Amino acid sequence: MIDWGAIFSNAAVELISPTTAAYALAALGLAIHFGYTGLLNFGQAGFMALGAYGYAISTLSFGFPVWAAVLVGIGASVIFALILGIPTLRLRADYLAIVTIAAAEIVRLLFTTNSFEPITGSANGLSGYKGGFADLNPIPDGTYGFGPFEYNAYDWWLRIVAWTIVILACLFTWQIMRSPWGRVIKGIREDEDAVRALGKNVYFYKMQSLILGGVFGTVAGMIFVLPRAVVPSNYQTSLTFFIYAILLLGGAATILGPVIGSMIFWVLLSFFSGFIARAVEAGWIPFMTSIQAGQLRFILVGVAIMLIVIFRPQGIFGNKKELAFVK
């Protein structure tokens, strides 16, 4: 018989997991790029990889403290954004898409190659960089919480930090998007020539947006690796597409959309994988092995996202009116 309680509690755990927070923050960065500025960045996985590796390498190879390791990651992503942006932001939007998708793959392959094995750990990745972050933990040892949300001190510390960063990033984004800066950014999304004709340095604004959203992705990459190890295969293009799925699910030009979208995405994913695995065990799906079942969850999530995009194309928080006008 299926243990529904376990399925639901495993799904509920995803609501506040650090991975959900990391995806929410990366999706918020993408909302700045795609939803507000209209930049087609398909390389968010590359920004996340730079955050993860920037943090891990500067901790492991150079013994940097946490704050310096964070700054290294952010610095790397700013440079990455400049390299991507300088040649492409003067061109049409689709060129940025091509360049970012390729650049993110280059970043991942550079971290995977054996040539830099002593520093990057090659395909095995890196681990053992969490000491500095754990030492900052003010929570005394022990287990806290209730029901499915019962964690030790490190896990609570990680969740508190991760979601604090997400909340701060949301407040920051909300504030700048309702400022004159945000108005210019949204104007660029609508028609950059018109904004240029009004005396705004469109190229400069697009660069700022690319860097800002990229930094969000980088910090997300750091949060993403704190509960696990740094593994290069995590930063494939599919990661970017999951983040796009989250963004479209929540609403592209919204603040809360990426956060709620990430929660829904991870809860659904956990629910489906738990349900299918147990259903196969219980013999409900006789034609399927448990390995096949592991892949089926992505198919089901894909179907769920298709349904949402078809029947609620503006996302959960998007404004229906915005889609009433066909461009």
User: Least distance to another protein from the beta carbon of 160, Å?
Assistant: 24
User: Least distance to another protein from the beta carbon of 305, Å?
Assistant: 23
The reply on whether position 77 binds another protein by CB under 8 A is no
Q: From 113-121, 155-163, 169-177, 279-287, give the range in contact with another protein by CB under 8 A.
A: 169-177
Out of 160, 172, 228, 309, the only residue in the binding site for another protein (CB under 8 A) is: 172
User: Least distance to another protein from the beta carbon of 166, Å?
Assistant: 17
* Contact letters for another protein, residues 129-168 (x by CB under 8 A): ----------------------------------------
Q: From 3-11, 49-57, 60-68, 188-196, give the range in contact with another protein by CB under 8 A.
A: 188-196
Out of 35, 121, 125, 187, the only residue in the binding site for another protein (CB under 8 A) is: 187
Return the residue matching tokens 């003010």.
138
Q: From 94-102, 131-139, 159-167, 176-184, give the range in contact with another protein by CB under 8 A.
A: 176-184
Q: From 105-113, 114-122, 180-188, 218-226, give the range in contact with another protein by CB under 8 A.
A: 180-188
The reply on whether position 201 binds another protein by CB under 8 A is yes
Distances (CA, A) of 322 to 193, 251, 315: 21, 11, 11
Out of 118, 142, 180, 286, the only residue in the binding site for another protein (CB under 8 A) is: 180
The reply on whether position 193 binds another protein by CB under 8 A is yes
Out of 175, 238, 292, 295, the only residue in the binding site for another protein (CB under 8 A) is: 175
Q: Where does this chain bind another protein (CB under 8 A)? A: 172, 175-176, 179-184, 186-187, 189-191, 193-202, 208, 212, 321-322, 325, 327
